[in-house]
Amino acid sequence: MKLFKYGIGMFFAAVFITACSGNTNTNSVVINNTTNTPVSARPTATIDELASGRKVYEINCAICHKDNGSGGTVEVEGKKLDPDDLTSDKIKKFSDEKIIRYILNGVVDEGMPAFKDKLSEAEIRDVVRYIRTQFHKM
């Protein structure tokens, strides 16, 4: 009987020591995602960025590219222009950096003015996010 009590005591001591050991990973979850799910390289825009981008677009871009981004022939200040369709596959393939360069420097031979002296860097980034979100839906 004494041996039985000693065995029970040792068992509970071992359980206690194991339970109180320094293992801090008991609540950790390891996710091993081995699928090839494509992830968007572009960060998603916040509501504030979209609101800012929409405002910048409506004030500066919609006159030529239209509210829906479709572009097409327009007359601005007596000049006939044919702005790009921002919903086209051609524009969708442009990097954000390329679109930013177009906005900053304009496209003189196509009649697009430069906005580097009119829009801040943040406004340009916001309008690019707005274009990507509204006109480049996949």
Alpha carbon distance 75, 64 (integer Å): 8
Least confident of 13-17, 82-86, 103-107: 13-17
Q: Which pLDDT score, from 0 to 100, does residue 46 have?
A: 73
Whether 116 and 105 have beta carbons less than 8 Å apart is answered as yes
Domains, the chain, ordered by start: 47-135 (1.10.760.10)
The letter for the amino acid at 128 is V
Mean pLDDT of the chain: 82
**Residue appearing with tokens 């091993």:** 32
Largest CA distance in the chain: 108
Q: Which pLDDT score, from 0 to 100, does residue 45 have?
A: 64
Please report which confidence band the pLDDT of residue 37 belongs to, taking 50, 70 and 90 as the band edges: very low
Q: Please tell me which residue, 94 or 138, carries the higher pLDDT value.
A: 94
Alpha carbon distance 11, 18 (integer Å): 11
pTM for the whole structure: 0.65
Left, alpha or beta for 52 (phi > 0: left; psi -120 to 50: alpha)?
Answer: alpha
Whether 93 and 86 have beta carbons less than 8 Å apart is answered as no
Mean pLDDT for 91-115 is 95
Number of separate helices (H) and strands (E) present in the chain: 6, 2
Whether 71 and 64 have beta carbons less than 8 Å apart is answered as yes
Other beta carbons less than 10 A from residue 93's beta carbon: 9
Alpha carbon distance 62, 131 (integer Å): 11
Asked if residue 17 has pLDDT above 90, the reply is no
For residue 81, give the 3-state DSSP assignment.
strand
